[in-house]
C-alpha cells in the first residue's frame, strides 16, 4: 500500500499538458499558458501583447493583467493541492508591485498553496520577466474552498485524462 | 476621462467606459463573453474585476490630480465579496489621501445595486 499522497490533478503534474484557455475564457483571451504544475503549485506565463499595456508612455503591462495572471495561477495552485477537486473562489489578493515589468517581455507567475484548510486556502505568488529571483510583483491571496460556489473551475481540466470531474 | 481610457490599450481590451453622474465619475464595464473566469457559475474572472478596480482608481487619481502620466501602483488589495455574474459592472473610486508622493484610493464595484458590492479594492499609488 502506498503512503504517497494522492492529488486530484496528479496525472497532470509536470510540464504543461493542457490549455488553460480552453476552460477559462479570460485566460484564453490573454493567451495565458501553463508552464508547469505540481503538488500545490502552478507556473503560468502571459505573453507580451500591445493590448496589455497600461502605461502608454512607458509601454508597461497594466498591473491588473498581472493580477489576472496571479489570480489564475493561484487558483490552479489550490486545485493542485487538493486530493479531491472542490470549488475555489478568491477571497482576497494583495499584489505588491516591486518594480515595473520590462516592456516587451513575457511575464511568468508562480503560485504556491502553502496551506489548504477545510474552508480556506492560503497562497503566495511572485511574477517575473527575466529571472525568477528578481520578481517585479509579489502577492498573498486567500481562497474559499468547497460548498455552494458552483463546482471546481478546473473540473474540465481533469476530464481529458479520463478521471471523474 | 474617456480620452485617457482610449489612450490605455488594456482599458480598451476590457471595454471600459466612463460616465459622468451627479455624484461624480462612474466607470462602467459592459459584459462580454471573453471576461468569464468560471464558465460553470458563470462568473467574471477575478483578474478582470481586479483590473477594473485598479483602472477606476487610476482614472479617479488622474482626474483629481491633473497628472499627465499614469500613476504607478505600489500595492493593491482586492476583496472579492460576491461572485460577479455575466452582466454590467460599475465602479466608483474615492481618494482618501492625495499626498505629494503617495495616494490612497478605495474603490467599490457593484452590479445590481450599489449597496450590494461585488468587490472592493484599496490601492496605494506613486504620484511622482
The mean pLDDT of A113-123, rounded to a whole number, is 97
Is the pLDDT at A150 greater than 90, yes or no? no
Query: A82: which residues sit within 8 A by CB, 6+ positions away?
Result: A7, A8, A9, A116, A145
Closest CA to A164 of A3, A4, A2, A8: A8
> What ipTM does this complex have?
0.94
Contact criterion met (CB < 8 Å) for A26 and B51: no
How many CB pairs below 8 A link A and B? 146
Residue spans per domain, chain A: 10-161
More confident residue, A22 or A127: A127
pLDDT in tens, B46-56: 999 999 999 99
C-beta of residue A92 within 8 angstroms of C-beta of residue B77: yes
Residues in B closer than 8 angstroms to A67, CB to CB, are 47, 50-51, 54, 76, 78
Residues in A closer than 8 angstroms to B79, CB to CB, are 91-92
Can you give the pLDDT at residue A151?
A: 59
Interface test with A, best of B27, B35, B37 (most A CBs within 10 A): B37
Domain A10-161 has CATH 1.10.1040.10: no
Note the pTM of the prediction, 2 decimals: 0.92
C-beta of residue B111 within 8 angstroms of C-beta of residue B88: yes
Contact criterion met (CB < 8 Å) for B47 and A50: no
Q: Which residue has the cell 459584459?
A: B31
C-alpha B128/C-alpha B83 separation (Å) is 35
pLDDT in tens, A14-67: 998 888 888 899 999 999 999 999 999 999 999 999 999 998 888 999 999 999
What fold is seen in the domain B2-126?
A: Thiol Ester Dehydrase; Chain A (3.10.129)
Q: Which residue of B has its CA nearest to A71?
A: B47
The string over A131-147, giving b where at least 16 C-beta atoms fall within 10 Å of a residue's C-beta and e elsewhere, is eeeebbbbbebbbbbee
C-beta of residue A44 within 8 angstroms of C-beta of residue A34: yes
pLDDT in tens, B12-23: 999 999 998 887
The rounded mean pLDDT for chain A is 89
C-alpha A127/C-alpha B97 separation (Å) is 29
Rg, chain A, Cα only: 16
Amino acid at each position: 500500500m502506498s503512503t504517497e499522497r494522492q492529488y486530484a490533478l496528479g496525472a497532470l503534474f509536470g510540464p504543461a499538458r493542457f490549455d488553460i484557455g480552453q476552460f477559462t475564457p479570460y485566460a484564453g483571451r490573454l493567451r495565458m499558458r501553463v508552464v508547469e504544475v505540481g503538488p500545490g503549485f502552478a507556473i503560468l506565463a502571459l505573453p507580451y501583447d500591445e493590448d496589455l499595456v497600461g502605461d502608454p508612455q512607458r509601454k508597461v503591462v497594466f498591473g491588473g493583467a498581472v493580477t489576472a495572471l496571479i489570480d489564475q495561477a493561484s487558483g490552479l495552485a489550490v486545485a493542485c493541492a487538493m486530493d479531491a477537486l472542490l470549488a475555489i473562489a478568491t477571497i482576497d489578493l494583495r499584489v505588491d508591485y516591486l518594480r515595473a515589468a520590462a516592456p516587451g517581455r513575457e511575464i511568468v507567475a508562480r503560485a504556491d498553496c502553502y496551506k489548504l484548510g477545510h474552508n480556506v486556502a492560503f497562497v503566495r505568488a511572485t511574477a517575473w520577466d527575466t529571472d525568477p529571483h528578481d520578481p517585479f510583483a509579489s502577492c498573498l491571496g486567500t481562497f474559499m474552498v468547497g460548498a455552494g460556489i458552483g463546482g471546481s473551475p478546473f473540473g474540465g481540466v481533469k476530464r481529458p485524462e479520463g478521471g471523474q470531474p | 476621462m474617456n480620452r485617457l481610457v482610449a489612450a490605455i490599450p488594456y482599458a480598451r481590451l476590457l471595454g471600459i467606459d466612463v460616465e459622468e453622474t451627479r455624484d461624480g465619475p462612474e466607470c462602467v464595464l459592459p459584459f462580454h463573453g471573453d471576461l468569464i473566469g468560471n464558465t460553470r457559475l458563470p462568473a467574471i474572472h477575478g483578474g478582470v474585476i481586479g483590473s477594473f478596480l485598479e483602472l477606476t482608481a487610476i482614472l479617479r487619481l488622474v482626474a483629481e490630480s491633473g497628472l499627465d502620466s499614469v500613476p504607478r501602483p505600489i500595492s493593491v488589495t482586492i476583496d472579492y465579496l460576491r461572485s460577479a455574474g455575466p452582466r454590467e459592472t460599475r465602479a466608483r473610486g474615492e481618494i482618501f489621501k492625495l499626498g505629494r508622493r503617495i495616494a490612497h484610493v478605495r474603490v467599490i464595484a457593484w452590479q445590481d445595486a450599489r449597496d450590494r458590492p461585488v468587490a472592493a479594492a484599496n490601492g496605494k499609488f506613486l504620484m511622482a
